[in-house]
Amino acid sequence: MLLADPVAGCTAIRRSMRPAGRLAATVFRDGTVNQWLFAAMLGAAPHLGALPPLPVGAEPGPFAFADPARLIRILTAAGWTTVTTTPCDVVMQAPDDAEAVAEWLVEIGPAGAAYRAAPPAGQAAARAGAARLLDRFREPDVGYRLPAGLWLVTATAGAADEPSAADDPSYPPPEGTKNR
């Protein structure tokens, strides 16, 4: 999800595998089924100063592979075959420790760099703000239940030396055109 050039990155993964090796991965679907990420970021943001713009569309970020058709195009262009995407709804469980969970989710999200650069008082305020918004996902004395919408992605590697679309001098294709 965070690859600047996803076809090249997925090609490198494919080439590192044995022929006919299998890929199984999970990636986030869209933000509507992963609301805890926004709760952590929005709760922390007012305490951290300016944040970088959120990634949109195909830009590297948590939802860069939210569109299954795009994900299939990327993997196919990288030389993977028999690509499937299956929606999975899971619940991530975290301990009943508001500060630790808030810090973890702020750190891994779009506000992470600003959080790490903030002074201790700003970090504490950011954790408290995130914890307030994450409280709706908390069951007292049990912990946090964070519903997550994922794609389970599976694919098969071709031969490690097979060319992929990333090897084509015309790569990347113009926007709106079909990858091989």
Closest CA to 111 of 29, 45, 20: 45
More confident site: 46 or 171: 46
Give the whole-angstrom CA distance, residue 51 versus residue 120: 17
Residue 147 neighbours by CB under 8 Å, 6+ apart: 33, 34, 35, 36, 89, 90, 91, 92, 137
pLDDT in tens, 116-174: 999 999 999 999 999 999 999 999 999 999 999 999 999 999 765 555 555 555 555 54
Residue 110 pLDDT class (50, 70, 90 cuts): confident
**Residue 55: what pLDDT?**
82
Residue 27 pLDDT class (50, 70, 90 cuts): very high
The CATH number for 6-157, chosen from 3.30.450.40, 3.40.50.150, 3.40.50.300, 3.90.1300.10, is 3.40.50.150
Q: Are strands 80-94 and 22-28 parallel, antiparallel or unpaired?
A: unpaired
The helix or strand, by DSSP H or E, that contains position 146, with its residue range, turns out to be: strand 143-157
**Residue 165: what pLDDT?**
54
Task: Say yes or no to pLDDT of 180 above 50.
Answer: no
Task: Say yes or no to pLDDT of 67 above 60.
Answer: yes
Q: Give the domain ranges of the chain.
A: 6-157
Using an 8 Å Cβ cutoff, are 67 and 153 in contact?
A: no
> What's the pTM value of the predicted model, to 2 decimals?
0.79
Cβ count near 147 (within 10 Å): 13
**Residue 170: what pLDDT?**
52
Give the whole-angstrom CA distance, residue 13 versus residue 77: 13
Q: What is the mean pLDDT of the chain?
A: 89
**Residue 162: what pLDDT?**
58
